[in-house]
Amino acid sequence: MSVDVHPTIFVQSDRNPTVLASSDRNPTVFNSIHQSIRPKIVLRTRYNNLIMIFGKKIKELREERGLLQRQLSAALEIDTPMYSKIERGERKAKRSQIPIMAKLFNVEEKELLTIWLADKVLDTVEDASEVKNDAIAYVQNEIKEG
């Protein structure tokens, strides 16, 4: 399976990156923006712009069980596009949604909660590449001692 990857420019944001331009949509605009505001943007590919281990896992579970996104969204009392964004890693699931998903997928709540929290940790340390391993080790040590 080949994946077609196109560079995309996003405005850096703590929660939701905003697409300014994508080379597959309009290469001229993409190149113009990229050259003029390079210090203010983050260049990433469409497929790695968000860490999404939780979204990947719930999509896998949903497909394995033959469930539709609209069935999950109804159970979570959100609209289908919102659920789709959670699967794609564009939105974060709420902690209160984890037990509902665990029940629907017939998996241990602890398993989903662990992946959900790991996703949040990775998202938090993503841009701190030079110190993220040290920060995680520090937290692990604090947890062991506390």
Domain boundaries, the chain: 7-45, 53-125
pLDDT exceeds cutoff 80 at 10: no
Of the options 1.10.20.10, 3.30.560.10, 2.40.30.10, 1.10.260.40, the CATH number for the domain spanning 53-125: 1.10.260.40
- What are the backbone dihedrals phi and psi of residue 97, each rounded to the nearest 5 degrees, phi first? -85, -15
CA-to-CA dists, residue 76 to 14, 68, 73, 96, 101, angstroms:
24, 13, 5, 9, 8
- Separation CA 139–CA 26 (nearest Å): 44
Q: Which range, of 28-32, 46-50, 128-132, averages the lowest pLDDT?
A: 46-50
CA-to-CA dists, residue 115 to 8, 30, 37, 134, angstroms:
27, 35, 35, 21
Q: Which amino acid is at 130?
A: E
Could you tell me the pTM of the whole model? 0.61
Within 8 A by CB and 6+ apart from 52, the residues are 88, 89, 119
Task: Quick: pLDDT tens for 66-115.
Answer: 999 999 999 999 999 999 999 998 899 999 999 999 999 999 999 999 99
